[in-house]
């Protein structure tokens, strides 16, 4: 269920998940530092002497891999970004560490076409929209155990990179939304010893410790262990959140041609006391004569509200090279994700229709400029402070077995060189979810009692009982002729799916074709066309099963990685325009005998322009910039929710590399999101906002000290309002200090 924010069929999704996990990964910087000596002349400032007597130990290299160069998400091969005929954003560990990002919502702040942190302070999930759709999360190239929400809240500290594949991805991954996917790649063992330990303290009593260590035991075995624990409050009163994360990994080098990497992770989350927002609109979005609702207000119950999640994954990546041309690879993982929730949350002000006097509480809506009442001259709300509440207990258990096997071959036909890929993947997936529902005692917005007697309703309703078996076969060819690169991919999927009282066995064909021309200077214009599909549970009024929704996209753009600049100047930019469509969207279609009937008559179209740039210049100046223009339209002429027309972001950081200030640096960023619609009927237009971020950091010897601030000027803003009862504040200022010791 991605419908809204609550893992429910009744409102949106409650709870609260924040943003601070941890950012360490200094092992990558440490490993690169030893290589920096060999390239010291290339990494000093322009004009600096590279004489033999220079003390190379004073040269501080902090993020040598900041600018990404290749991706595996778009082709399931290690393909240079310059040769990929589709928009892909790669956020690697160097970027995560330098900018001190701690969750996915933060990591996409400077990414075009993606919006994160959509529901403010939510400690459970990383809410993203991507080209207007909710992207599905993948872990190590395999679909994560997603269910009622399309991500798992997996900790970012355990990832060595995040790949955001924009647009249809079904041709390689099977069922997927047309907006794309997000793939998190786990940290892998390295043969060279390294690691770090990090301590963090920040706003809202945020306490956190994390560590990562890797190295070779012998020539045949390398190990890695990554772990994290935090305990913190949030901007919402009465909320406490804890997390434990641990991820062991081992790589076995059987011989020079065969590697097996064993991967596992375990994460436990506990959030207590959180009502998850769900504020009345009057007092946030519009005027409340009694007073303004503060961003720290909690409409839940401190002692009753609770969210717990235990998730793990265990599996392997296997690779064997038969010869110089033919390679076999297999990814396998078993996932489990169990969550439970006791949730009392706001249901809007208590109302009355019995008073006959003129409305003393009429207010001026700042967006419409009109006086608003209940339309009858009577007060719309009883007292503008008594808030009704609902009680929504919910449990969900997800288990998934995934395996993806593929062969890669390199060969030539005349003047054309080919990289051919054929593969088969299989996924067995179960998702069982139950909920209860009842009213809960009301609460006084301005004099709340957060310790009331609350009775839990029985989990009497089945929300999901889904079983899926998906088998996919795919083939791809990258054909190169001089500077031309043609990428063609096809796939056939067979899906067997059952829900209570309904079984489906649809099949789907998807494909993608893309063409690049790579100029010697590093300029690569491209054009591509791709399709997607996604199953839909349900049936028409006549009893016919819904067919999968389908999507297609045409995209054209240009990528630029200048090859004529010095080696120490690394720049990658991309500019893309696209037209994305989704068909067979389920919409309400009531009949005389069935007012709840649905039909597949809906249509969505999203058009956009996206620009991204990332640069690392002489290991001193770091730049991130993005702009996206997105125009969406659904059946009836409405716009998609949480899809801003304009998103602008820029970040610049400067680090002194030599001299007395070697290792000291800082940066500042600005991000702007224009107004967005909070509801599908476009009755709630949420105002846009601009926020400033900043970071100061100092690297010396094997230590790193950093202080970073999100929303530096503590701007209060609306994250989303979708109705009179469902409003959410955005994230307030958060300042954290981290100390990292590398070894």
> What is the tens place of the pLDDT at every residue in 303-332?
999 999 999 999 999 999 998 799 999 999
CA-closest candidate to residue 119, choices 671, 727, 733: 727
User: Is pLDDT of 41 > 70?
Assistant: no
Contact between 204 and 233 under an 8 Å Cβ cutoff? The reply is: yes
- Return the higher-pLDDT residue of 463 and 577: 577
- pLDDT at position 333: 98
> 153-179 pLDDT, tens per residue?
999 999 999 999 999 999 999 999 999
In a domain, 430, yes or no: no
Strands 718-721 and 703-710: unpaired
- pLDDT at position 3: 37
- pLDDT at position 535: 85
Which residues 6+ apart lie within 8 Å of 265 measured at CB? 154, 158, 186, 245, 246, 247, 312, 313
In a domain, 456, yes or no: no
- pLDDT at position 53: 37
Query: What's the pLDDT band for 474 if we cut at 50, 70, 90?
Result: very high
- pLDDT at position 59: 64
- pLDDT at position 98: 86
d(CA 699, CA 360): 61
d(CA 204, CA 73): 37
DSSP 359-389: -TT-EE-TTT--EE--SSSS-SBSSSSEEEE
- pLDDT at position 121: 86
- pLDDT at position 498: 81
Give the H or E element holding residue 653: strand 646-655
d(CA 630, CA 249): 40
CA-closest candidate to residue 392, choices 2, 3, 11: 11
Query: What's the pLDDT band for 32 if we cut at 50, 70, 90?
Result: very low
Q: Which domain holds residue 145?
A: 26-186
Least confident stretch, 369-383, 524-538, 604-618, 675-689: 369-383
- pLDDT at position 54: 40
- pLDDT at position 58: 56
Q: What is the mean pLDDT of the chain?
A: 87
Least confident stretch, 38-52, 124-138, 224-238: 38-52
Least confident stretch, 437-441, 531-535, 568-572, 591-595: 591-595
Least confident stretch, 58-67, 263-272, 339-348: 58-67
- pLDDT at position 15: 36
d(CA 95, CA 63): 7
HEC string for 561-620: CCCCCCCCEEEEEEEEEEEEEEEEEEEECCCCCCCCCEEEEEEEEEEEEEEEEEEEECCC
The rounded percent of the chain whose pLDDT value lies above 70 is 87
- pLDDT at position 33: 34
User: Is pLDDT of 51 > 50?
Assistant: no
CA-closest candidate to residue 346, choices 283, 271, 435: 283
d(CA 451, CA 505): 49
Q: Token pair 């476009």 is at which residue?
A: 682
In a domain, 115, yes or no: yes
In a domain, 649, yes or no: no
Cα–chain center distance at 282: 31
Which residues 6+ apart lie within 8 Å of 19 measured at CB? 102, 103, 105, 106, 117, 710, 731, 734
In a domain, 51, yes or no: yes
In a domain, 104, yes or no: yes
User: Is pLDDT of 376 > 50?
Assistant: no
In a domain, 177, yes or no: yes
User: Is pLDDT of 596 > 90?
Assistant: no
Least confident stretch, 43-52, 233-242, 613-622, 654-663: 43-52
- pLDDT at position 295: 95
**What is the reported pTM?**
0.88
Both tokens of 343, joined, read: 């949730």
d(CA 14, CA 31): 42
Q: Helix-strand-coil percent breakdown of the chain, rounded to 5?
A: 5, 55, 40
Core vs surface per residue 6-17: b (16+ CB within 10 A) or e: bbbbebbbbbbb
Dihedral, CA of residue 106, residue 183, residue 153 and residue 736, to nearest 10: -30
Q: DSSP secondary-structure letter at 135?
A: P
CA distances (Å), 181 to each of 8, 136, 142, in order?
Answer: 23, 5, 11
d(CA 136, CA 155): 16
Both tokens of 696, joined, read: 């100061």
- pLDDT at position 500: 63
Least confident stretch, 422-426, 575-579, 616-620: 616-620
d(CA 97, CA 157): 9
The rounded percent of the chain whose pLDDT value lies above 90 is 75
CA quadruple 564, 565, 568, 573: dihedral sign: negative
Strands, E assignment, 459-597: 461-481, 484-499, 502-504, 507-517, 523-534, 549-560, 569-588
Query: What's the pLDDT band for 52 if we cut at 50, 70, 90?
Result: very low
The average pLDDT across 326-342 equals 97
Core vs surface per residue 385-407: b (16+ CB within 10 A) or e: bebbbbbbbbbbbbebbbbbebe
Contact between 672 and 688 under an 8 Å Cβ cutoff? The reply is: yes
> 199-251 pLDDT, tens per residue?
999 999 999 999 999 999 999 999 999 999 999 999 999 999 999 999 999 99
- pLDDT at position 366: 40
The average pLDDT across 706-723 equals 95
Strands 180-186 and 136-139: parallel
Least confident stretch, 236-240, 359-363, 476-480: 359-363
- pLDDT at position 373: 53
> 521-550 pLDDT, tens per residue?
999 999 999 999 998 876 776 767 788 899
- pLDDT at position 14: 33
Least confident stretch, 363-377, 530-544, 548-562: 363-377
Query: What's the pLDDT band for 440 if we cut at 50, 70, 90?
Result: very high
- pLDDT at position 370: 46
- pLDDT at position 36: 35
Core vs surface per residue 693-726: b (16+ CB within 10 A) or e: bbbbbbbeeeebebbbbbbbeeeebbbbbbbbbb
CA-closest candidate to residue 21, choices 742, 601, 738: 738
In the chain, the number of structural domains is 1
The average pLDDT across 27-36 equals 32
In a domain, 701, yes or no: no
Cα–chain center distance at 687: 23
- pLDDT at position 92: 93
User: What CATH number is given to the structural domain containing 78?
Assistant: 2.170.130.10
Q: Token pair 């009179």 is at which residue?
A: 724
Query: What's the pLDDT band for 636 if we cut at 50, 70, 90?
Result: confident
> 249-291 pLDDT, tens per residue?
999 999 999 999 999 999 999 999 998 899 999 999 988 989 9
Both tokens of 524, joined, read: 């690569």
CA-closest candidate to residue 201, choices 20, 19, 25: 20
């Amino acid at each position: 269920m991605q419908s809204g924010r609550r893992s429910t069929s009744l409102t949106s999704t409650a709870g609260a998940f924040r943003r601070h996990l941890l950012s360490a990964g200094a092992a990558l910087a440490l490993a690169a530092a030893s290589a920096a000596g060999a390239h010291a002349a290339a990494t000093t400032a322009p004009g600096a002497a590279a004489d033999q007597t220079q003390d190379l130990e004073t040269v501080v290299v902090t993020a040598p891999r900041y600018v990404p160069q290749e991706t595996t998400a778009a082709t399931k091969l290690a393909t240079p970004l310059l040769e990929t005929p589709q928009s892909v954003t790669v956020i690697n560990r160097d970027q995560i560490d330098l900018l001190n990002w701690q969750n996915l919502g933060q990591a996409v702040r400077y990414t075009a076409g993606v919006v994160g942190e959509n529901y403010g302070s939510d400690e459970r999930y990383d809410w993203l929209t991507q080209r207007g759709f909710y992207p599905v999360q993948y872990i190590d190239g395999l679909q994560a155990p997603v269910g009622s929400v399309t991500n798992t809240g997996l900790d970012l500290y355990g990832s060595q990179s995040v790949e955001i594949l924009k647009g249809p991805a079904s041709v390689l991954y099977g069922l997927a939304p047309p907006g794309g996917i997000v793939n998190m790649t786990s940290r892998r063992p390295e043969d060279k010893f390294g690691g770090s330990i990090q301590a963090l303290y920040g706003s809202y009593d945020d306490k956190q410790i994390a560590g990562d260590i890797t190295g070779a035991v012998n020539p045949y075995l390398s190990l890695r262990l990554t772990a994290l624990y935090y305990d913190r409050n949030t901007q919402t009163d009465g909320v406490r959140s804890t997390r434990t994360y641990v991820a062991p990994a081992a790589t076995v080098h059987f011989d020079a041609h065969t590697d097996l990497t064993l991967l596992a992770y375990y994460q436990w989350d506990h959030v207590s006391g959180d009502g998850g927002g769900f504020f009345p609109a009057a007092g946030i979005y519009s005027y409340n004569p009694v007073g303004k609702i503060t961003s720290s207000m909690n409409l839940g119950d401190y002692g009753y509200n609770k969210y717990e999640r235990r998730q793990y994954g265990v599996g392997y990546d296997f690779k064997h090279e038969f010869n110089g041309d033919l390679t076999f690879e297999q990814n396998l993982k078993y996932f489990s994700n169990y969550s439970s929730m006791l949730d009392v949350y706001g249901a809007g002000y208590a109302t009355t229709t019995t008073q006959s006097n003129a409305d003393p509480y009429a207010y001026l809506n700042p967006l419409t400029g009109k006086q608003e009442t209940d339309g009858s001259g009577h007060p719309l709300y009883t007292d503008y402070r008594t808030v009704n509440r609902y009680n929504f207990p919910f449990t969900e258990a997800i288990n998934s077995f995934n395996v993806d096997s593929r062969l890669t071959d390199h060969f030539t036909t005349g003047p054309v060189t080919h990289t051919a890929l054929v593969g088969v993947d299989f996924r067995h997936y179960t998702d069982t979810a139950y909920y209860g529902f009842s009213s809960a005692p009301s609460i006084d917005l301005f004099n709340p009692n957060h310790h009331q007697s609350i009775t839990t309703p029985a989990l009497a309703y089945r929300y999901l009982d889904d079983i899926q078996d998906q088998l996919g076969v795919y083939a791809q060819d990258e054909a190169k002729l001089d500077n031309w690169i043609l990428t063609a991919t096809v796939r056939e999927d067979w899906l067997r799916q059952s829900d209570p009282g309904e079984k489906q066995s649809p099949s789907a064909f998807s494909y993608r074709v893309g063409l690049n021309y790579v100029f010697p200077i590093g300029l690569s214009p491209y054009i591509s066309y791709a399709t997607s599909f996604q199953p839909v549970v349900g049936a028409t009024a006549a009893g016919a099963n819904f067919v999968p929704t389908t999507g297609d996209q045409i995209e054209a753009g240009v990528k630029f990685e200048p090859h004529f600049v010095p080696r120490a100047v690394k720049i990658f930019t991309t500019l893309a325009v696209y037209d994305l469509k989704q068909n067979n969207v389920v919409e309400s279609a009531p009949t005389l005998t069935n007012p709840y009937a649905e039909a597949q008559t809906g249509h969505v179209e999203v058009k956009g322009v996206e620009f991204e740039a990332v640069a690392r210049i002489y290991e001193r100046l770091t730049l991130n910039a993005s702009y996206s223009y997105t125009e969406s339209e659904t059946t009836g002429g409405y716009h998609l929710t949480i899809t801003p027309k304009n998103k602008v972001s820029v970040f610049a950081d400067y680090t002194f590399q030599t001299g007395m200030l070697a290792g000291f640096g800082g940066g500042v960023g600005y991000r702007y999101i224009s107004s967005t619609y909070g509801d599908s009927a476009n009755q709630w237009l949420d105002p846009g906002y601009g926020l400033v971020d900043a970071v100061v950091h100092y690297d010396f010897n094997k230590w790193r000290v950093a202080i970073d601030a999100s929303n530096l000027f503590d701007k209060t803003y609306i994250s989303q309002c979708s109705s009179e009862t469902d409003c959410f504040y955005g994230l307030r200022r958060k300042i954290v200090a981290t100390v990292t010791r590398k070894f």
